A and B are shown apart, each in its own frame.
Chain A
């Protein structure tokens, strides 16, 4: 994991470095910059050090949990992360909930009831979800569910400050694209395991159909889905940027989007590195879950 994090830092740092433009000028906007001010900024951030030195310094500070400070607000980047990440985490949990409930659920239904109207309906819904960009879906939900059905459902249009129900629309929006893929994947894998020899054995044993489907077919069909879920965390985190912006949620995604648009390099860098670490940790957890699901896998 450590080399991956280091590689990611170097990559992001270089990416930030090669963006054209004068970092000092972008700090102050369109106003003219005095020579003393420029000198002070360059000294303060070590802007004229060679690139390897700057990266080494940055990594050295990271080890002490020093993510640097925002050039705009002068706040510690770590403080920004501490403030915004809990919101993103809660949003991600809500999204994962929808992902599992609706994605896996609908996939199972369309596999077990293959070629039924329900299956066709699920297929149509997944096509629509896959082809709708996250921000369009978010806006549509805001207009047609939150606004038009305001008196019926009472779902908030933006923010997360109204308890559980404020997570419904952003959670669904965040999960939408992955949900559709998970649904298709679950359908395919379940259809495959339903045809397998051990499912036939389970039926020949005289087990109730429900048990055949859940304990034998689905248990095995879940393994590839969990693999995909692990890989897909990146998409979900990327989706968080759009979802948080559309629903005006104070999360790391929105903070990152703002930092990028204002060229607040320390914040962009800090949040990116943090997200990389989160991604790796989640992947590790998925790998461990994988071993629980499939006893043939042993980590030594």
Chain B
């Protein structure tokens, strides 16, 4: 296990991703699930880069393959029903997708740590929170229990848990939801991973607590210089903390760009729909939100061609036959056959009325 860490090179918080310093490079990832009713193509051709000190946000509806994408990177998709059918994920010159179980185990938690959506169920209810942190430290490093406990206390202090010397002996049910998520974060940071994956870290929490958790994550990322993958369906969250946004639909990538690009010049009809359905405080009351017609497709029967075409108000001949790939189309990357002029007009039509 290489001991060098990239935390030294701090990235500026804004601006385009620095080229060529990918910590984790994912290409053409495909994941399928074998179910009684057929093969579910949960993830198809997803690729991205995670840079140190920067946050990649993966946005999409439920069932769009966001979580499966990151779980497959750590070898955590349920087996034997789940299967990785293609692609690679390079991390420190090793392909995470082909590592043996013992090798991927030493990367999990130590190099790539993960925070889950629901802190109420993600902690073991019958084990003291301190023990849960300690056992993680001791699974990867040869340290004494006493030293590991001291580190656990420091970590709890770092994430803002009051009187950590006592709380380290507490059980999860003695913590509130927000505090439990802080414990999860402390645990994820305990080995100073180079990448932190946060799977909807604030979704299950109160709105006020959500903001605290996101701020905490941003502060810790600054402090440790971690690369971060933030999975969310909440565009409000994304706007504040992401450096790059990847929009997924039906297991495929549909648009990618900086927050500015995606919020002020979105180029994919699905992204327009997502943005149109977000309520805004600065608009008159009584204004209607725009919703996306129809339902997300069943991944058992992904529509041919562009998977979004049955719900797309701008589809034309060919959308149902040929599949658009995510590629550079003038301004940033998207997966839509419309011309740039059509896209600008379409965006005005859907979102323009909202007078951004």
Contacts and interface: CB of A to CB of B under 8 A. Distances in A.
Nearest to A293: B126
A20 B101 CA distance: 71
Interface in A201-231: 201-209, 211, 215-216, 219-220, 223
A209 B171 CA distance: 23
A197 interface: yes
A295 interface: yes
Contacts of A97: none
A196 interface: yes
Contact of A201 (B116, B128, B171, B173): B116
Interface in A24-53: none
B121 A204 contact: no
Contacts of B127: 215-216, 219
A56 B269 CA distance: 85
- Main SS at interface, chain A: helix
A205 B116 contact: no
A207 B126 contact: no
A295 B118 CA distance: 20
A200 B126 CA distance: 15
A197 B128 CA distance: 16
Interface in A263-300: 293-296
A205 B109 contact: yes
B126 A294 contact: yes
B110 A206 contact: yes
A11 interface: no
Contact of A296 (B121, B123, B125, B187): B125
Interface stretch (B133-141, B275-283, B347-355): B133-141
B136 A205 contact: yes
Contact of B108 (A195, A204, A296): A204
A221 B168 CA distance: 24
Contacts of A223: 126
Contacts of A202: 124
Contact of B124 (A195, A206, A216): A216
Contact of B122 (A201, A207, A219): A201
A204 B76 contact: yes
B74 interface: yes
A207 B135 contact: yes
Contact of B139 (A196, A208, A293): A208
B105 interface: yes
A17 interface: no
Contacts of A6: none
Interface in B5-57: none
Report which residue of B113, B125, B128, B173 has the largest number of chain A beta carbons within 10 angstroms of its beta carbon: B125
Interface in B54-95: 74, 76, 78
A296 B172 CA distance: 9
B139 A207 contact: yes
Contacts of B338: none
Nearest to A222: B126
Nearest to B106: A206
A105 to B, nearest CB: 21
Given A219-B126, A219-B127, A295-B173, 6 more contacts: A197-B118, A198-B125, A200-B76, A204-B76, A204-B116, A206-B110
Interface of B: 74, 76, 78, 101, 105-110, 113-114, 116, 118, 121-128, 135-136, 139-140, 171, 173, 184, 187
7 contacts: A198-B122, A201-B124, A204-B76, A204-B113, A204-B116, A205-B108, A206-B136
Which 6 pairs show the lowest CB-CB distances between chains A and B? A206-B109, A206-B108, A197-B121, A205-B109, A205-B136, A198-B124
